[in-house]
Amino acid sequence: MVKNGPVTAVIVGAGHRSLWYGKYALQEPDKLRIVGVADPNPVRREYFARQFGIPEAGLFASAEELAAAPKMADAVINGTMDHQHVATALPLLAAGYDMLIEKPFAVNMEEMERLARAAKQYHNKVMICHVLRYAPFYQEMRRRVLRGDLGEITSIEAAEYVSYHHMATCYVRGKWRDSNACHAGLLLAKSCHDMDIIMWLKSGVKPARVASFGSIFEFRPERCPEGAGTMCMVDCPIEDRCVYSAKKMYIDHPDRWSFYVWDRLEHIERPTIEDKIAELKKPDNYYGRCVWKCGNDVVDHQNVAIEFADGSTASFILASGSGKDERTIHICGTRAEIYGSLEQGYFTVRSINPAPGCECDIEEVRFDAQGGHGGGDQRLVADFVEYLRGDEPSISLTKLDDSINGHMAVFLAEQSRQTGQVCAFPEGFAI
């Protein structure tokens, strides 16, 4: 337990998400202080050192190097790539660090069990970055469920719509395009948040069975427009008519996905548009490649159905190609229902009212959805700090053992999608 002064933390994996979480230390320096960073990329190490005032002694090339050094902080913020989370976490848990781990915290059931076993063995406090739980939109839903406003939940319908430019950048051209390289499909990498929300809303009721369907519908070579080239800005005669043009996405919008698209220009302090154009023309740069010729193997849409032990059900739709990113949800209970949109910043409650001339009572609840993930990002870090201090946890607390069912549902959904079978939750492992 942290007793005096700010919680101290070392960032492991100097990526976009780690930087976002670390900003809490700049906003609340009396609560959190970043004292180190571990990353194999020296450019990123130096960038984080400048951002957080980290001395040379706090710079490490790997998680293993950090774990081998004398313990220098209370906790680690683990923002490595998906398949590196468990491998980097284990030596640091053994070294005595508590940990905030980016989602997905494991890429298969075996890894999930190893991490849970290690946290129990070394008595670490481990939280998962399921930031949606901290968005006021979802927190207020959870409060109403807990106090019984909806009665018993009978059905949950949730959906995530991934915008065309988000899908193309991250999951067709980007580092999550290849499941063999990143060890995660689209459902795990993108929507384990949503599966976690479903399990959180049904917390205390064991999930029983999962079924799922999905495929690559759009982003495959046989759907490529006639006459398209291989590199958008090199050999494509239809680039000016293509909505997925690399020029339209990354030159006309140079800052929208900058942390991902321009990672190979990090050594240049202020890359010019000419630098960026030249980078997109390189044959080994997938961000400049035709989206139908990227060799991607992750699905671009997927549906999941879940049955719980009490007979209630849930469904989740993951779809790409929308005009903008959006998450929606509809919860039906025995007394009332809630439906709304995270990005539109509201949900509506309809409560049964059988009075003469009435059908239901309607309440609209609105939110300020400023900040990452509906305002959840910084609230999550604040709760992690309070958790380490031993204060009363929030209703959103994403402890490791409370996050297992959401990941388990993803793993079983992928198994179902690939085998065509309905998959049962294993006995004794669901939390």
Domains within the chain, CATH numbers bracketed: 7-124 (3.40.50.720), 132-219+297-424 (3.30.360.10), 230-293 (no CATH)
Which phi and psi (to 5°) does residue 165 adopt? -80, -30
Tens of pLDDT along 146-160? Answer: 999 999 999 999 999
Residue 173 near residue 292 (C-beta atoms within 8 A): no
13, 180, 214: which is closest to 107 by C-alpha? 180
Burial level of 291, CB count in 10 A (0-12/13-18/19+)? buried
Q: pLDDT grade, residue 429 (50/70/90)?
A: low
With bands split at pLDDT 50, 70 and 90, how would you rate the model's confidence at 372? low
95-115 per-position pLDDT tens digit: 999 999 999 999 999 999 999
For residues 204 and 110, what is the distance between their CA atoms, to the nearest angstrom? 23
Q: How confident is the model at residue 89 (pLDDT cuts 50, 70, 90)?
A: very high
pLDDT at 180 over 70: yes
247-282 per-position pLDDT tens digit: 999 999 999 999 899 999 988 889 999 999 999 999
Q: For residue 157, what are the β-bridge partners? A: 315, 330
Percent share of the chain, pLDDT over 90: 89
Q: What is the pLDDT of residue 431?
A: 44
Confidence at residue 369, expressed as pLDDT on a 0 to 100 scale: 61
Mean pLDDT over 34-38 rounds to 98
3-state secondary structure 136-180: HHHHHHHHHHHCCCCCCEEEEEEEEEEEHHHHHHHHHCCCCCCHH
In the prediction, which pLDDT does 252 show?
96
Residue 251 is encoded by which pair of tokens? 């030159």
Kindly tell me if the per-residue pLDDT of 403 is higher than 50: yes
Q: If 0-12 CB within 10 Å is exposed, 13-18 middle and 19+ buried, where does residue 188 land?
A: buried
**pLDDT score recorded for residue 3:** 61
Query: pLDDT tens digits, residue range 295-306?
Result: 999 999 999 999
pLDDT recorded at residue 381: 95
